[in-house]
């Protein structure tokens, strides 16, 4: 039986050794957290950076914009991430938290992402206005007299006779997603503002307005389909009467199966999103922890790689991945700001 006992002792010892090995460990690679929308771009740059420089490839985690900010703002030191990606601008509350924890940051805007309302190729063409989107998806809408009533619409043609006669069935991301935040802010709020009563409410009580404009109906017309946009695409193919909400890069990759709805007269195309004609698009950002520059090797070089024309330019490799670049003038200004590590103040 001595053999058994020896085996046990060896296992326990090995356990103790690997436990203690973890404690002392200096970090030499950049750590990036944040938005799943920026993840494809951030990882592409990270890979290029790892291949073309002597630095190790940065580790990129997909935690969502909010989760990334939380980790990023937690403090200064090598156990905290160096860069966070966000599919929206940093919130004032998050900035204050960062400042409180002594984190100084530089903001870099990297480009745009369109949010698409897509339908299967075999489905009808959709031409929507933001007002119609609001009427289709809001939990409460104003009636003729301006009083809020529960959303009575069950088919698109009830909203406007020009729309197809089909059930309102929209597959979209859950509330934890940055895509949902942006969609609500851009499309739903934009639609809500078209109503006189809601416009007046916005002036008098911004909170109450947001409560109305941001509330998506919960009676089954809007279906939370999870954060996986590929899944939404598959479901749209299976059900040509359903409409899906997802990022532009997924339309770009699946243009043979899915078509995008016109919103306010503009098709969701690369050109329209870049020029701002397509209204449902948002800016993408990343934030750099300035104190880590110099401590963690390679941060400056990584920022330089990300903001180089071969990456985020009109013909850069990020465009192949679906990023919609900033106009050339903005890019130049942003690169100066980013490589100079200009502090962000709010």
Binding residues (CB under 8 A) for another protein: these are: 1, 4, 8, 11-12, 14-15, 18-19, 21-23, 25, 27, 29, 31, 33, 36, 39-40, 42-44, 46-47, 50-51, 56-57, 59-63, 79, 121, 227-230, 247, 249-250, 252-256, 315, 317, 320-322
Closer CB to another protein, residue 212 or residue 245?
A: 245
Gap between the Cα atoms of 286 and 85, Å rounded: 4
Compute the residue count for the chain. 346
Closer CB to another protein, residue 163 or residue 284?
A: 284
Gap between the Cα atoms of 156 and 169, Å rounded: 9
Label residue 229 exposed, middle or buried (CB < 10 Å: 0-12, 13-18, 19+): buried
Which of 272-296 are b and which e, b meaning 16 or more Cβ less than 10 Å from the residue's Cβ? bbbeeebbbbbbbbbbbbbbbbeeb
CB of 23 to another protein, least distance (A): 7
Gap between the Cα atoms of 318 and 84, Å rounded: 18
Helix (H, G, I), strand (E, B) or coil at 228: coil
Closer CB to another protein, residue 23 or residue 329?
A: 23
Closer CB to another protein, residue 188 or residue 251?
A: 251
Name the one residue in this structure whose structure tokens are 């909203």. Answer: 159
Closer CB to another protein, residue 3 or residue 203?
A: 3
CB of 167 to another protein, least distance (A): 26
CB of 247 to another protein, least distance (A): 8
Helix (H, G, I), strand (E, B) or coil at 176: coil
Could you tell me the two tokens for 252?
């770009």
CB of 18 to another protein, least distance (A): 5
Closer CB to another protein, residue 160 or residue 227?
A: 227
Which helix H or strand E contains 120, and what residues bound it?
Answer: strand 105-120
CB of 259 to another protein, least distance (A): 8
Q: How far apart are the first and last CA of the chain?
A: 69
CB of 35 to another protein, least distance (A): 13
């Amino acid at each position: 039986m001595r053999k058994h006992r020896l085996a046990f002792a060896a296992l326990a010892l090995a356990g103790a050794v690997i436990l203690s090995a973890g404690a002392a460990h200096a970090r030499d690679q950049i750590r990036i957290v944040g938005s799943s929308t920026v993840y494809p771009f951030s990882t592409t740059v990270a890979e290029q950076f790892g291949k073309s420089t002597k630095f190790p490839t940065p580790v990129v985690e997909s935690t969502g914009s909010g989760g990334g900010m939380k980790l990023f703002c937690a403090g200064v030191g090598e156990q905290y991430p160096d860069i966070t990606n966000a599919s929206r601008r940093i919130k004032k509350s998050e900035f204050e938290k960062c400042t409180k924890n002594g984190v100084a940051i530089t903001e870099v805007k990297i480009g745009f992402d369109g949010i698409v309302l897509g339908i299967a190729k075999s489905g009808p063409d959709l031409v929507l206005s933001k007002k119609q989107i609001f009427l289709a998806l809001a939990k409460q809408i104003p009636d003729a007299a301006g009083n809020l009533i529960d959303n009575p619409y069950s088919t698109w043609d009830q909203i406007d006779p020009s729309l197809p006669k089909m059930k309102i069935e929209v597959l979209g991301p859950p509330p934890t997603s940055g895509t949902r935040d942006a969609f609500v802010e851009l499309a739903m709020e934009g639609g809500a503002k078209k109503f006189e009563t809601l416009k007046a409410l916005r002036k008098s009580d911004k909170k109450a307005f947001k409560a109305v404009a941001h509330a998506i109906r919960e009676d089954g017309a809007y279906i939370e389909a999870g954060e996986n946009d590929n899944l939404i695409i598959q479901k749209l193919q299976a059900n040509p009467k359903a409409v899906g909400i997802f990022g532009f890069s997924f339309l770009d990759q699946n243009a043979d199966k899915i078509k995008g709805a016109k919103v306010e007269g503009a098709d969701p195309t690369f050109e329209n999103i870049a020029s701002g004609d397509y209204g449902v698009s948002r800016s993408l950002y990343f934030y750099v922890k300035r104190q880590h520059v110099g401590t963690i090797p390679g941060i400056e070089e990584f920022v330089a790689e990300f903001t180089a024309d071969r990456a985020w330019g009109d013909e850069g490799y990020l465009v192949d991945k679906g990023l919609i670049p900033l106009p050339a003038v903005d890019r130049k200004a942003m690169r100066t700001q980013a490589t100079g590590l200009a502090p962000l103040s709010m």
